[in-house]
Each structure stands twice: as structure tokens, then as C-alpha cells.
Structure 1
Amino acid sequence: MDLYRKHYCKSNGFTHQSFYNHCMKNLFLFCFITFSFIGYSQKKTLQTKFISEKIEIDGKLNEAIWNSAAVAGDFITFEPDNGKPIPENKKSEVRVLYDNDAIYIGAMLHDENPDKILREITQRDDFGTSDIFGVFINGFNDGQQDFQFFVNAADGQADCITTDSNGEDYSWDAVWESKAVITDKGWVVEMRIPYAALRFSAENKQTWGLNFFREVRRDRYKYSWNFIDSKLGTFTQQNGTLEGIENIKPPVRLFLLPYSSFYVNANAKQKTYGTLKGGLDLKYGINDAFTLDMILIPDFGQTKFDDQILNLGPFEQQFNENRPFFTEGTDLFSKGNLLYSRRIGGSPSTRPNLATNEVVDASPATVNLINAFKISGRTKGGLGVGILNAVTEKTTASIRNTETGARREELIEPLANYNVLVLDQRFRKNSSVAFINTNVTRNGNFRDGNVTALAWDLNTKKNTYNLAGDFKYSYINTTEDKKGINSQLNFSETSGKYRYGIGADIMTKDFDNNDLGINFQTNYYSVYGNASYRILNPTKYFNSFNARINGYTQFQKETGKIQSNNLNIQINSDTKKNHYIGFGINSNPLESYDYYEPRAENRFVIIPERVGGFLYVSSNYNNRFAIDLNPSYTVFNEKGRENYGFAIGPRYRFSDKLSLNYNFNFFRQNNNKGYIDTYINPDPSSNSNQTIVFANRNVVTYSNTLSGKYALNSQMTFNVAMRHYWSYAENKNTLSLEQNGRLTDFKDYTANKNSSFYSWNADLSYTWWFAPGSQLTVLYRNNAGAFERNINKEFNSNVTRLLNNDALSHVFSISMRYFIDYNQVKNTF
């Protein structure tokens, strides 16, 4: 040690005393860093206190009682420089108080440049380009589920339920009060969250999970009160604790949402008519953990329109769920991925049986929903229970005899009951095993479906490794008598810079969950794997950087032929100037056997090898003008066959009130090969009486969307959403599918099987949150769509014909929903 000390002193110019001071300084620094890290890794605790004084939610914090409350400070960076203390000029101080009805949050968020605080006014649950403050509350302190409440600097609200397995669910809405005010020191947030918006036990002494969150938007830095370690694969288990709440009782959670809607419909084929509707939604807290939601008379007339496409493939188009009842608080029902809620109130399960001299005069595209309810919640012991039930009405089609003119009605969907049951047991705060059952029972001699599953999500105590999977069994009633299984298992490392995962799954031919779920491919087994690298702290050039390689191979179960194979590399990054850049290379290095495109049993078409790539650039949305750009290109191992396209999306924020976003998408497939028909050979001497006909075609797609808003304030906004879509497939020549999966010229087929589909949708709306939880919406909507075999390639002419189409329909509607809280009514009277 002495020799080392002498050599080190000599080489670095130290005297004996200065070397000693140098060592002590480094030792002190080492201890400071070590104990700082230990402090960050431990859970912080905040004490609250009971108040009897009234607090006005005005964003001023001028009640004297605030000064006596304990302060939660010393925030720590979550992103991008994870673990670094918050700068002194961004110091954040939060206080918590409570009374018999609610919890109160007061936050002073310092900022050295208050004029630079971003504060775009947006709709509820849309943060916009604004600074954000949030509070995360877990009333059971079990690390399983957070109720999160956010306020932005423009005084807007957002709220969600968060779980590690399903992320953030912003479809959940609670009723609470808040006010944000910009000051000369930064900005202030004051919040009142009633106990009816939370879940907690009936114990006299409460300990809640708690965390506070802040984002400084102009820097894109995010901070939390209790340290959230980004190396760990969990978020909800890294809360601090709130102590001091005593002798409060979970309130009666009974909420009524009566509504009234008025619709005026018109198009060229019918006269204008008005419709008045009314109904009631109900929410009731069965106990401190479980909630009943009911829709007694549904009304989804103002639901967002579907983005329909020209679907040339063998599978149905899957649509997003936009109906609030089926999107809110459905994290339990997503277990096992068995629920596709668009089946409820979707298209009828059968089609009319027609004689040669009959045609369908009228057949509803969807089935009406009579009512629905769901019960969901989780006990203190970690048992989550979810029950969803819905009933749809009997639906008939009107059929006309073309010779006699006689009409008849045929049942195409009977009275049907849809049911989902989920039992999800969590343990060790980060693992779960779930039982799921979905069932559809149709009245009479119609198809019934039942699927049962066991799913597991197991994590090590330190959240470093994960083992997940499921086993599903489907049964279709005696009309088809089908039974099948589907199972998957995957293992992954979920923490640190380097991560990986491997897995496999299998699905038998008769597995069918399509009565209440959605599934495309069956009769296969597959293996897959991935590896990734990410930075955990900023570098010289990047705030975040992630590189990932994925591999997937799927085999047909009986033959072992490769149905699908893919190897891709993706890189995603955020630069120091907060521009997003991502790119990737996708390859299918082997020929694959597609058993679905031919639309025939035991037939397949061979898909050649291909390789392609894409680039995605998104400039910093903090700037008034920003743009997204996404070109892509793929080439096949087949002469002249290629795909290419691009998407461009400029956006401009004229002010904190007004913004517009435009997106244009173009995609072209040259020499695409796809099924168009099954040809019956009229020559009885032919070796085959039918031929599966494919087309060599060019497929071109254009899509234009425009969205924007003008906000009067955080409660009133005008919104616009428009979409024009046009896609066509022009057949160059026809091909026959051989038994070996190859395609050869087929000149006997002469029918026109070109396809051209175009659609238009436009929504203009005004939304006013006129009282807590209560909303008035005025909507004007027009839409049209058409499918043709003859292709008109003049873009402007297509748009004009579409808007002048007799099928263009117009809807004007006014809807008002009023939130009634039983507790407020009780206190009033």
C-alpha cells in the first residue's frame, strides 16, 4: 500500500497530506452516492393529517392548514436520466390532507421560467403539449393497481387505471376536482379526489401506496417522488406510502348517468326524420373492491366511425372498440386475449337461405344490444373477479320472391346471451394465475360457443425474469361439434440493458373462439425468440435508444411446412433534441406455404422470400410545426414483385387553443398475387371440375385524414375528424393454383374481378363538460362508401363522385349525459 501511495503521489503531484485529503474526499463522495442510491431504492413515506376546514379548489393553496402538512419533495428523474435528483430550479413540493369525504393534494411546482411552461388546452385524457402533474394512489398498497389522476398546466384533467400487465387504461373516468394556476414561481395544482373515485379497505388505519409524477414538457424530462427504477420490469410496485389516514369509511359508490339523445337522419333515398332516445347507465360499488356497471338502454349513436378498408385477404377486418361501456375498466377481461367485444352487437351469425327466385330486400348489418352489465374488482387478498354479460335481440332479414312479389322474414340471429368470467389470483405482488371462460348461448338450434382458459404470468421476486403462457380449450355445440386447444409458453429476462425472450405455441385445427373472440390462423405450431439492448441513461447523442432483433417461424401442424417466417431488426431512439428516429429491416428468408389465401381445404399457395425496410422520423411535437415521415420498401424473390409506400403527417399548433393534424398515406403493391374466385370447369372431360383462380394485380391505396380542435377552455372544445380512403386492385392477368402451390397462367377466366373501394367520413362536434362527470355533445356527421368493379383512376373525380353519391348520409345529433352521485344527493337533502 505504501509503495502504491508513493508512486501515485509522485505521478499525480500529491504530497502525503494532499493525498490523504484526496482519499477522504473520494471516500466521502463514494459514501454519499452509495447512501443516496440506497435512499432512492427505499420506499418513501409521507404523513397526512385530518382536516375539518373547508378547502376551496382554486389553485392558490392559501388556506392556512396547507402550511401544517408534511411536504413530499426530493423528486428523482424517471426519464431520461433515471435516478438523477431533480434540479433545484424545478423543485417540487407536494402536500396531502384528508377529511371524511375526500383526499386533497396541493403541489407547488417550481420553474425558473414560468413563461416557458407549455400549456396547450386539450380534451379530457389528452395531455397535449403541456406540463403535467399526477398522483398515483393504491388504496390497498398491494402493488397491483394504481388509480392515476393527472392535471396539465392548461387546467385539463386525465385519469386512468394502471396495472403492470395491461399498462394504462384511459377509458376509465372518475369524477374529481382540480385547478392549475401559473404563478411567477412556476405553477400550482390543487386537487380534491373523493373516496368514491378510489378503492380501499374498511380498516380503521389506512396505509396507501402513493407516488407523485411531474413532466417538464419543454425538456421532456419526467420525475417521480418515489424513485422508479427503469431497470426493473414493473411500475406499480415502486410507489412510496401514505400514512396517517384513520377512521374513514368507503362511501356508497352509487352513480347514475341518465341520458337523452336526439338524432336527425337524412340521405337522398329517404326524407329527413328525427329520433328521440333516452336511457340510463348505472355504476354501483357492491363493496370496497367490486363495482357493478350497467347499461339499461344502450345508445352508441355518437361512437367514433370505423376506418373501413378494401379487404382482399381471407380474414375479416378487425375493428377497434369505441363504445365506452366496452372500453372502460376492462383490464381483467383482456386476460387470455379471448374477448373481442365487437362480437357483441356485431354482424348476425348466419345468412338467409335463399331459393333461386329470392333476393334479400333488407338485412341488418348489426344486431341490437338490449342491455349489458359487468362486475369487476379485486379483493385485498389479490383475487380479481370479472363478470361481463350482454343480451342481444332477435334479428330477421326481409326476403322477397322475384316472381310473385311475396315477402317473408327469416331469422338470422336469435336472442343471444354473451358471458365472460375471469378469476385472476395475484400473489407476491407481481405474479398471477387466471381462469377465463367465455360463452355465447343462442336461442334455438343455432351455434353456441364456449372457451375455457388458464393463463399465468409469473415473475421473480426482483422482477428480473418472467414466465408467461396459457392453455385454452374451445368447444362448439353439436351443430358443429368442434373441440380444439391453443397453448403458448414464453420465458424472458425483463430487466437491465440486455434482455431476451424465447417461446413457442401450438393451435389445433378445430380451435375456435370466434363467437366472442377473434382468431385467424389455426392448425400450426411456432417457435420464436428476441434479444434487445437499451440505454438506461442519456448519452452524448440520445435520450433513449433501443435495438431489438426478433425471429419467428410457424409450421403447419400436419405437414410441417413453413407457414410463416420472419427475421427483423428494429432500432428506436430519441435524440437530445427530442426528435424520434426509428428504422428496421424485415426479412422472410424462406419460402412459406399460405394455407388460407386459397380459401379451400388442404390447399396452399407458396409465398416467395422477401426483404424490406422502413424508416420512421417524428420531429419534436413541442415545436409549433412538427412532421412525421414513414417510407417503406419490400422486394420479393419474384420478377417485378415489390411493395413500397410512404406516410407523411404534418401538424401545426397555431396557439394553445387551435391545432390541426393531417396525414397522407400511399401504398402500392406491384404484381401482388391473390385469390379472386373458384372457377367451375364446364368441360366434364377435364381432369379437375374446379380451379382456384388467382390474379396478378397491382394494388394501390390512398388515405387522407384531417383532425383538429379549437378549445375555448378545458371544458369546451370544437373538434373535427375527416377521412377519405380509396383503394383499388387492378388485375393484369389471371392464374390457376396448382396442387404444388405454384401459379400458372389461366386464360379461360374472363370475368371482371377488379376491386375499387372508396369511403368518406366526417365528424364535426362540440363537447362541453358542463358539470362534474356531465357532458353535452353536439355532432354533425356525414359518410358515404362504394364498391365497384370498374376502376376510375382520376383521383379528383373519385372524390367528387363520392361526395355527390346518393349514398351520402347526414346525421345531426345532440346528446346530454348527467352525472348523479348518490352521496351528493344524500348530503343535499
Structure 2
Amino acid sequence: MQKILLPVFICLFSFSKVLAQVPTKQVRALRTLQTLTVDGNLDEADWQMAPDATDFVQNWPVPGKPETHKTIAKVLYDDVAIYIGAILYDVAADSVLRQLVKRDEIGNSDYFAVYLDTYHDKINGYGFMVTAAGVQSDTRFSSNGQDWHWNAVWHSKVSIHDDHWAVEMKIPYSAIRFANREEQVWGINFKRQIRRKNEAYFWNPVKPSVSGFLNQSGQLLGVEQIKSPLRLSFMPYISSYVNNSPVEGSKNITSMNLTGGMDVKYGISQSFTLDMTLVPDFGQVQSDNQVLNLSPYEVQFNENRPFFTEGTELFNKGGFFYSRRIGGKPLNYDQVEGQLAEGEQIVSNPTTSRLLNASKVSGRTPGGLGLGVFNAVSANMFATVENEEGERRQILTQPLTNYSIVVLDQSLKNNSYVSLINTNVARRGAAYDANLTGGLFRFADKTNMFSLSGRGAISQILDPEKQGPKLGHTSSVTGAKISGNFQYDFTQVIETDTYNPNDMGILFNNNEITQRARVEYNIFKPFWKMNNLYTDFAVTYSRLYKPYTFQSLTLNGNVYTTLKNFYNVGSYIHIQPVQNMDFYEPRVEGRYYVVPTNILVGSSLSTDTRKRLALDFYGQYRTFQENNRNSYNFGISPRYRVNDKLSFRYNLDTRQASDDIGSFGDNVRNDSIFFGMRNVKTISNTLNSSYIFTNRMSLTLRARHYNSSAMYQKYFSLTENGNLTEAAYDVKKDVNFNTFNVDMVFSWWFAPGSEVSLVWKNAIATDGIDMARNYTDNFNRTLQTPQSNNISVKVLYYLDALMFKNKNINQKIPDILTSI
């Protein structure tokens, strides 16, 4: 610790004139006593009486420019919901683009959106969007960013007219949260996109040069004497599966099963909600993108399970929560082979844990204090092994495990906050437990020009077989200029050699002290042939925490622009100007590999996405000051929109590394650490297509083939000074890895919040040392290997307790059937 030289952050804030602030716009909501029909026609009398929100201002591509086509937004409310109406004028009906896409997508469409900051803290809020094709999207805002996975049950309708289109929304109070006050003052903003012109407008101006979004909202006044209703809803489901899977030594086996469960939402109070999933079923989520992993780090997968993607913004604060740990690979999955007796073989070893239940409570008090409590339980998991006589036994791979998170998040003035987070993993029996306590903060000045932010955490590994917990800690602090054309930041991060958050979070490597200085200069208004220009340059210097020794020095530069023809072009450069010390590739504590100086350059291009045919492209090249070592990546993604219902997108990604140097699993023998020189080729092909029948019914297909092979040319032994000497190695480490997945999904949202889905999934995986002659031969061989097929039907129905309030259930059932 005494050797650690903590740098002094000196932020030189020069005195400058504060730009004149544009007065915040206000709009008053009108209480309605009418029974409004959400049909997209604002023909009720109260719509005519409601005050107008007009004079929208362009945000893109020319910030500050007045609107060319008039937009009028209005707000009504009653005891049940808030209503948003908008009239969006245009030159003709056929000028309004309206591609049909899945829910939560925009596509090639005009759209209208409303953003509500119900606590008026300028950090937390909601967004509701409707395209001209009637497709809904919704999102939540927090200090953690934007959560597009959040879904609410609300109503909307669109109508198209000769010289305008109109949208009407009904957002029930059960879908949002707000303070218990006689008079509400909310932040509000409206947005309009005119797709054919690629223009975006806001009612209250949103300047791209100013940090933050909700803090640039207007104000909604006049909402009085409303109360949060009973928020109790049930989403029971039933699903049926037919599985056809290969079994070693026999033909495919077909099995069937029927499952059921329920999700429950309950409004504990005005501001807090309980979400529960009982006997969850995630069998229909998109297949993971499996890859060949030659690195010493684990592969991080996307989260596709709805319960873990919706409404988790509080739990994701600070980056301490990696939800794939829950229901992920059992703790001792990789240790089963070492427990086999002579003559035994593994019959089954599940790769995922079975989740029994999960629940979360979250909300925010009128004083801006956010509280989140998350808990989940996974079952005992066993591997089954069999001896030569056919006798079977089970090996425990993970005991009953409880996962929990508690978050406190206090919103402060000036887009600031402080947060406290605790994560805990408790396992039954002798297996170790884990705990992490962390905090984070952000303070910004009144002008929203400068900020100071940071985070810190202490991790504990509680092993009953060892005396005392194993403690580790991390801390970081950043001082930054966050607004204006010229911005910069200075950051220091410390991670001790014993810091380990990976029982609930994900960290690829610890034991580092890193400093980074970054500057950027951006032009937000059009000039010459560009609509904007973003540039940045960063220097990153890293040392080990223990022992305190040099690790790496990296220089990064980026340039990105959108041209006036709406092509996006970017270039970047990554330089390691001195030899870096890689302490992780050897996979042995205390040893390192000297990485030669190298340079990586790359660029990207995206064409105008309004066209039927659009193209995304990227390419990069990296070369080392060592032999013929180099690599290149290339990717191309054409997309074709046949019409407003049918579209295709194809992705090709390829990588080739020549004379790549790296270690491999089981690379330590007789105190020698072995590395290999290998040629690595990777090709990934992905086809996505969709046919959207209506704004509530869709058919999508995703097919992905991934092939990665590594052919070793030489083997080396790692010396004490981090260099390599050629050595003999008697085990062939070549690998040819293939996966092929198909996900076809038919989805019908037959009522608000209710869905029928039919899913077909096909999966193939091969992992061997035999190399194919070419890509076509490899692909054909992959398709001829055993494969798994799965067909499932799931019916989920949304039941709101308010549907039955003051009504006889027998009278309500016909209404439900009519909605279907």
C-alpha cells in the first residue's frame, strides 16, 4: 500500500460566461369528466378545450431550428389515467412513413413520444412512443441510462388524414409511479420524428451540447387530486414443449412436457411495487451467441429473460449485478470429471441451474429516495454418472442458493445522486458464500457544466473452511467537464488483487490501478458536408496493484460524423507504443507475457437507413512489431426492406489472425507454462427476417452459424522475463468449433399485456480437432451432426384487478373474450 502513489486530480475550471438559458416551457393539463374513447381521433369536446403545446424546436440535424410542419400536443387527465393527444401536420398522407415492426421498435416510421418525469427530479422518468403505424414502444430513464426492456400496459391509437396524422394515448396511473401530493408538478416533453427528412423535434428544446435529457424537459401543471390506484395484476402462463434431442450411443429421444406458472405485480404503496415470478419459464428466449473462447476470460452473454431485463435499472447501478449468474452454470460444473471413479462416465451434467422463484420490490419516495430489494432462489443441481455395471449416482454441482440485492438511491439537485448497494449469495451447506457492499455518487454544478463522480466497493468471500473472510476492494473517481463543445475527464480506478464481485457481478480481471485522461471536441451543428462531428483522444496508463509494477500504456483516438446525405462514417486508432506486460494470459499468478508494441486502425460506414437497401460495414487491421503477427476483422450487414411488412437483414463477421500468440487450457506441465503460435479463422453468418402482419402480430426468424478454428504452428515455453522460447509439446491443441442455431417466433399480442407465442428452436454444436477443406464443406458437415429441436407454445394472459372492481366476474368474462 505504501508504494501506491495516488495521483492528485487537478481540475482547472476556467471562468467562462454561462450561456443564456431558454425559459422552460409549461403546459397545463385539463381534467376531463368525459368517457374518452382511445381511437386516434381527438373529436371529444375536452380535447378542443385543452391547452396546446406547440412551437416544437429541431434537435436533429440542425439544433434550434423551428419546426416546418406544425405539431400540437395536448394533455387530459381523470381519476384513472393521463391522456396524451397530438396532431402532427404534414404535406400529405403518403408523406407519413409507417413501417410495421415489432413492439419496442421504430423502423422506418414517423413517430410521436411523450416523456414524463413524475418525481420532477430530472433523472428518473418514463417514455411512451407510438409510430405512425400504431406500434408502441416504452422506456424508463434513470441515472443508469435508458432501459428499453421495461414494458407497461397502456393504450394508443393512430389515425391518418389528408394533411396530418393524429395519435391518442391513455397511460393508466397503474403504469407509472408518482408522489402522493395534492398538486402534481411533473417534467414533460414531447418529441416528433419526421422520418423521410430524418428530422427530430422537441417541444422543450433539447440541446445535444448539454449533458442530460430529462433535465431539459418542460413542466406539466394542473394535475390535481389524483391517487395511485390498486396496482395488482396477474400474468398466469401455460406452456407446452416437444423436445427432440440426441443422446450419446442412441437415436434422438423425443419428450413432451407441460408447465405453468405466474408473474404477479402488486402496488405495495403509492410508490413501491412488488414483482414476482413463480415457477418461471424462459425456454422461449433467444439462443445465446456461443463462441470459441481462447482467452483467459469468461464469455459475457446478453440477458434475454424478461424478468431480469424489465424494471431492473436500480439493481444495475454501479455495474455490480450480472443477472446471468442467477440460473447460470452450476458452481462446481467443471469439477465433476475430477470426482469420477474408475470406469465411471458422465451421463448428464446440466449447464444451467433451475430457478425456483424470483421477486423484486422497487420504488421511490416523494423525497427522491429510491429503494430496491431483489431476491431469487435456485434449486440443488446434480450431475449423473454411471459405472460399467450400469449403476448410477449423483454428484452435487450446486447447492440450494439464494441471491439478493438491496439498493438505496437518493436523487439530489442538479442531476446528482448518491447510492448504496449490497449484493449477497448464500449457499446451503459447506459451499462458500459471497457478499459485496458498494456505493457510488455523482455531483454536478448548477450550470450542468462540471461533475465529480465515483464508486467504491468491498467484496467478501466467506468460506467456512477458512478462517475469516477474504476481503477485497475497488474504488474509482472521475472529474469531468460534461457540457459544451469541448469536454474532458480524468479517471482513476483501483482494484485490489483480492477484489472479487463475480458471484453476483462480472469482472474480467482485478489487481489493477488505472489512470485515464480523455479529451473530446464535438461540433453539433451542420457545417461543410457534415451534420456533426465527434472526436476524442484518450491516454490510459495501468499498473498492477500488487506487486506495484507497470502493466500497460495505451493511446486511443476516435472520429465520427454523420454526413449531410445521412451516411455515418467513423475511424479509430488504438496504439500500444511500448511493450506491455500481460499478467492474465499465462493463467498463472505472478507470471506475465511481454506483448510487443502494436497498432490497430479501423473504420465503419453506415448508409442512409431510410432507403430500402441499407448497408453497415466495418473493418480493422492490427499489426505487431513481431514476425508476421497480424490480424484483421471485417463485417458487412446489408438490410433490405421489401415493403412495410417484410424485411431481411444479414450479418457477416469474419476474423483472421496470423501467427497469433496465446496460452490455452491445461498449459502448465512440470513447472513450465506453454504458449502456442496459431492461425485463427472465425466466420459468423446471421440472417434475421421478419414479417409483421399487424402492429400486434409478427413472425420472426433468426438463423446463425458460427465457425471458429485454431491451427497451432509452434509451441513455446514462457520464460521468467515474459519472453517465449520454442519448445516441444506432445498434445495437439487444434480446434474446430461450430454452432448453428435457428429461432423462429410467431407472436400475437391478442390483448394489452397478453400474448400467444409459438417458437421453434434448432441447435447444433460441434467441437473437434478435424479441419474442413473449406467453409462450405465445414457447414455441410455441421448440418449432418446430431441436432436438438424444440417446439413450444406459450399462452400468457394479463389480468388487472381493476378489471373486476365493482363488477361481477361473470359479467366481465364476455368483455375479455371480446377483446381477444
Would you say same fold, with TM above 0.5? yes
Match of 2:386 among 391, 400, 411: 400
One-letter amino acid matched to 2:799: I
- Give the aligned partner of residue 763 of structure 1: 743
1:718 aligns with 2:699: yes
Structure 1 residue 803, shift from structure 2 partner = 1.5
Structure 1 distance, partners of 2:477, 2:186, is 35
Instruction: Pick from 154, 177, 192 the counterpart of residue 176 of structure 1.
Output: 154
Q: 2: CA distance between counterparts of 1:388 and 1:564?
A: 38
1:64-106 deviation line (CA, Å, top 9, x unaligned): 221111111011112222222212xx11011111122111111
* Rounded Cα–Cα distance in structure 1 between residues aligned with 2:713 and 2:414: 59
Q: Amino acid of the residue matched to residue 360 of structure 2?
A: K
The residue number in structure 2 matching 1:451 is: 436
For 1:745 and 1:635, how far apart are their aligned partners in 2? 22
**CA drift at 1:282:** 0.5
Q: Report the equivalent of 1:12.
A: none
2:470 corresponds in structure 1 to: 482
1:825 to 804, 807, 818: 804
CA RMSD of aligned residues (A): 1.5
Answering whether residue 578 of structure 2 is matched by residue 590 of structure 1, we say: yes
Name 1:298's counterpart in structure 2.
280
With over 3 angstroms needed to count, the CA separation of the structure-2 counterparts of 1:58 and 1:680, relative to structure 1, is closer
1:274 equivalent among 256, 260, 263: 256
C-alpha distance in 2, partners of 1:316/1:465?
36
Change (3 A) 1:222 1:680: closer
Give distance in 2, aligned partners of 1:590 and 1:285: 58
Deviations 1:249-286 (A, max 9, x none): 21111111001111111134433221111110011111
What is the letter of the counterpart of residue 365 of structure 2? Answer: T
CA contact (8 A) 1:283 1:293 kept: yes
Q: What is the TM-score when the length of structure 1 is the normalising length?
A: 0.92
1:105 aligns with 84
Counterpart in the other structure of 1:754: 734
Q: Which residue of 1 aligns with 2:361?
A: 375
User: 1:331 deviation in Å?
Assistant: 1.1
- Which residue number in structure 1 is paired with residue 549 of structure 2? 561
In the alignment, structure 1 residue 162 sits paired with structure 2 residue 141: yes
Note the C-alpha offset of 1:584.
0.9
Give me the whole-angstrom Cα distance separating, in 2, the residues matched to 1:246 and 1:326.
35
The answer to whether the 8 Å contact 1:552/1:566 transfers is yes
Measured in 2, the distance between the counterparts of 1:419 and 1:574 equals 44
Aligned ranges 1:517-556 → 2 under 5 Å: 517-556=505-544
Task: Flag structure 1 segments of 5+ consecutive residues without an equivalent.
Answer: 1-36, 682-688
Cα distance in 2 for residues equivalent to 1:816 and 1:356? 46
- SS state at 2:432 partner: coil
Match of 2:811 in 1: none
Q: What residue identity is the alignment partner of 1:701? A: T
What's the secondary structure of 2:757's corresponding residue?
strand
Query: Amino acid of the residue matched to residue 30 of structure 2?
Result: K
Q: Which moved more, 1:42-51 or 1:615-624?
A: 42-51
Is 1:253–2:231 an aligned residue pair? yes
SS of the residue 1:800 aligns to: helix
Give me the whole-angstrom Cα distance separating, in 1, the residues matched to 2:422 and 2:690: 42
CA distance in 2, matches of 1:603, 1:103: 63
Aligned partners of 1:421, 1:271: CA distance in 2, in Å?
44
Q: Which residue in the other structure is 2:72 paired with? A: 93
Q: What is the SS of the residue equivalent to 2:292?
A: coil
- Cα distance in 1 for partners of 2:754, 2:806 equals 19
Of the candidates 634, 647, 652, which is equivalent to residue 664 of structure 1? Answer: 652
Paired position in structure 2 for 1:801? 781
Distance across 1 between alignment mates of 2:565 and 2:125: 32
For the residues of structure 2 that align with 1:676 and 1:49, how far apart are their CA atoms? 68
Structure 1 equivalent of residue 311 of structure 2: 329
Identity percentage of aligned residues: 39
Match of 1:695 in 2: 676
Decide whether the 8 Å contact of 1:561 with 1:592 is kept in 2: no
Residues 467-486 of structure 1, C-alpha deviation per residue, up to 9 Å, x if partnerless? 11111111101345421111
SS at match of 1:756: strand
Q: 1:678·1:690 contact (CA, 8 Å) conserved in 2?
A: no
Offset of residue 405 of structure 1: 4.5
| 1:308 shift after superposition | 0.7
Distance, in Å, in 2 between the alignment partners of 1:526 and 1:271 is 53
CA distance in 1, matches of 2:139, 2:414: 20
Q: Aligned in 2, Cα 1:604/1:321: closer, same or farther, shift over 3 Å?
A: same
Partner of 1:211: 189
- Which amino acid is 1:95 matched to? K
Q: Does 1:418 align with 2:403?
A: yes
Q: How many residues align structurally?
A: 779
Do residues 349 (structure 1) and 322 (structure 2) align?
A: no
1:314 pairs with 2:296: yes
- Structure 1 residue 559, shift from structure 2 partner: 3.9
Look at both structures and tell me which one has the larger radius of gyration over its CA atoms.
1
Is the CA contact (8 Å cut-off) linking 1:668 and 1:699 kept in structure 2?
Answer: yes
Q: Distance in 2 between matches of 1:416 and 1:301?
A: 21
- Partner residue of 1:790 out of 758, 765, 770: 770
1:670-709 pair list within 5 angstroms? 670-676=658-664, 689-709=670-690
CA distance in structure 1 between the partners assigned to 2:631 and 2:774 by the alignment: 22
Q: Distance in 1 between matches of 2:771 and 2:692?
A: 42
**Cα-to-partner distance string for 1:363-413 (whole Å, 9 max, x where unaligned):** 1111100000001111111111111100010111112334x5433222121
Q: How many Å apart are 1:600 and its aligned residue?
A: 1.2
What's the CA shift for 1:537? 1.5
Alignment partners' CA distance in 2, 1:412 and 1:703: 33
Matches within 5 A, 1:597-676: 597-676=585-664
| One-letter amino acid of the structure 2 residue matched with residue 110 of structure 1 | Y
* C-alpha separation in 2, matches of 1:202 and 1:439: 33
Task: Quote how far apart the aligned CAs of 1:710 are.
Answer: 0.6
1:58, 1:561 → 2: CA distance?
A: 68
Change in Cα spacing, 1:71 to 1:723, as seen in structure 2 (3 Å) is: same
Contact 1:677–1:694 under 8 Å retained in 2: no
Q: CA deviation at 1:679?
A: 6.3
- The answer to whether the Cα contact below 8 Å between 2:414 and 2:445 also exists between their aligned partners in 1 is no
1:390 aligns with 2:371: no
Deviation at 1:122, TM superposition (A): 0.4
For 1:201 and 1:486, the matched residues in 2 are separated by 36
Q: Given that residues 437 and 457 in structure 2 are in contact (C-alpha distance below 8 angstroms), is that contact kept between their aligned partners in structure 1?
A: yes
Amino acid corresponding to residue 379 of structure 2 in structure 1: E
Question: C-alpha distance in 1, partners of 2:773/2:724?
Answer: 28
With normalisation by structure 2, the TM-score equals 0.93
- The Cα shift of 1:111 comes to 1.0
Q: Paired residue for 2:116, among 126, 137, 155?
A: 137
Residue in 2 aligned with 1:34?
none
Match of 1:491 in 2: 479
Task: Using the TM superposition, give the Cα deviation of residue 359 of structure 1 relative to its aligned residue in structure 2, in angstroms.
Answer: 3.0
1:33 alignment partner in structure 2: none
Q: Is the CA contact (8 Å cut-off) linking 2:667 and 2:675 kept in structure 1? A: no
CA distance in 2, matches of 1:393, 1:558: 38
Report the Cα offset of residue 569 of structure 1: 0.9
The one-letter amino acid of 2:447's match is K
Structure 2 counterpart of 1:359: 345
Contact 1:725/1:760, CA 8 A, preserved across alignment: yes
Kept in 2, the 8 Å contact 1:144–1:429? The answer is no
The 5-angstrom pairing of residues 723-738 of structure 1 reads 723-738=704-719
Kindly state the Cα deviation for residue 222 of structure 1 after the two structures are TM-superposed.
Answer: 1.1
- Maintained 8 Å contact 1:735/1:746: yes
Structure 2 alignment gaps of length 5 or more: 1-18, 809-820
Amino acid at match of 2:284: Q
Report the AA paired with residue 295 of structure 1.
Answer: T
8 A Cα contact 1:465 1:493, kept in partner: yes
Q: CA deviation at 1:827?
A: 4.7
Change (3 A) 1:561 1:182: same
Task: Tell me the CA shift for residue 601 of structure 1.
Answer: 1.9
SS in 1 for 2:318: helix
SS in 1 for 2:436: strand
Counterpart in the other structure of 2:814:
none
Q: Secondary structure in 2 aligned to 1:161?
A: strand
Q: Which amino acid aligns with 1:779?
A: V
| 2:498 counterpart letter in structure 1 | D
Q: Give the SS at the match of 1:826.
A: coil
User: Does the Cα contact within 8 Å between 2:414 and 2:448 map onto a contact in 1?
Assistant: no
